[in-house]
């Protein structure tokens, strides 16, 4: 890639949103329903690798990632962004395949619902798994739809190829450059995926470089800085 871009559009989950990078982010305000999840994520996004890369390139960054966000959400927002931004570079982070979303515009504040009224579901919002060990018994915003999804519908399989084909086709049809960034290990990877210095995915690359994990299993600022530099080298080729 030697093309000059006017902005960066990034999509993905908490690893793209920079969750836990901004240590003073007002988590309590979110838990009390005073701010939305997007507002909470906005703090970490100022330090995450898409912003670091955009600063290096001297262009704006629009980070649509969401903590706990699904691939379905990322594709939806990618489609919604078409024609909205001039000459963007797309950074698409592929997250766990056990996540999905449901449109749920009913009143109330629910854990995992985004500003477009879609509730993100999956194991990250299971009271017996992910978030339970942050504040046990206090997650009143969790919607029962997630328990139903996990109990009756969740049958995860590696859908990376299907998801990637959709993203790749959308970007190709609209003449958009995209860096496909698998965030976790998958069974197989399309040939056009970013290979993370032969480590295949962000998680294995971070582990191989010995980056420090945060309290809730993200990687620290050093990983974001190093990834931004790695991506900068890729687009400068």
- Digit-by-digit pLDDT tens for the chain (237 residues) are 557 999 999 999 999 999 999 988 888 888 777 888 899 999 999 999 999 999 999 999 999 999 999 999 999 999 999 999 999 999 999 999 989 999 999 887 677 788 999 998 887 654 444 443 344 444 444 567 877 888 889 888 899 999 999 999 999 999 999 999 999 999 999 999 999 999 999 999 999 999 999 887 899 999 999 999 999 999 998
- Residues in Cβ contact with 13 at an 8 Å cutoff, skipping those fewer than 6 apart: 65, 66, 67, 68, 69, 70, 93, 95, 96, 99, 183
Domain 7-105+158-235 has CATH 3.40.50.1110: yes
Output the pLDDT for position 143. Answer: 67
CB 205 within 8 A of CB 178: no
CB 87 within 8 A of CB 5: yes
In whole angstroms, what is the distance from residue 52 CA to residue 49 CA? 5
Output the pLDDT for position 34. Answer: 85
Q: How would you classify the pairing of strands 100-103 and 61-63?
A: unpaired
Regarding pTM above 0.75, the answer is yes
């Amino acid at each position: 890639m030697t093309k000059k871009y006017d902005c960066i559009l990034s999509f993905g989950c908490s690893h793209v949103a920079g969750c836990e990078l901004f240590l003073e982010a007002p988590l309590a305000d979110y838990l009390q329903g005073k701010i939305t999840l997007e507002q909470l994520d906005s703090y970490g996004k100022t330090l995450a690798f898409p912003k670091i890369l955009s600063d290096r390139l001297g262009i704006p960054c629009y980070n649509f990632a969401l903590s706990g966000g699904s691939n379905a959400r990322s594709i939806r927002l990618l489609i919604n962004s078409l024609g909205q931004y001039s000459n963007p570079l797309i950074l698409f982070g592929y997250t766990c395949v056990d996540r999905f979303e449901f449109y749920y515009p009913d009143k109330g504040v629910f854990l995992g619902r985004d500003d477009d009224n879609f509730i993100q579901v999956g194991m990250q919002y299971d009271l017996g798994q992910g978030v339970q060990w942050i504040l046990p018994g206090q997650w009143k915003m969790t919607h029962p739809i997630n328990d139903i999804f996990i109990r009756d519908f969740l049958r995860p399989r590696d859908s990376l190829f299907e998801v990637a084909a959709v993203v790749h086709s959308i970007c190709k049809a609209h003449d958009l450059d995209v860096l496909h960034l698998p965030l976790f290990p998958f069974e197989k990877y399309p040939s056009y995926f970013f290979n993370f210095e032969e480590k295949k995915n962000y998680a294995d690359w971070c582990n191989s470089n010995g980056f420090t994990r945060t309290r809730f299993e993200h990687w620290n600022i050093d990983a974001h800085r190093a990834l931004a530099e790695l991506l900068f080298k890729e687009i400068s080729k």
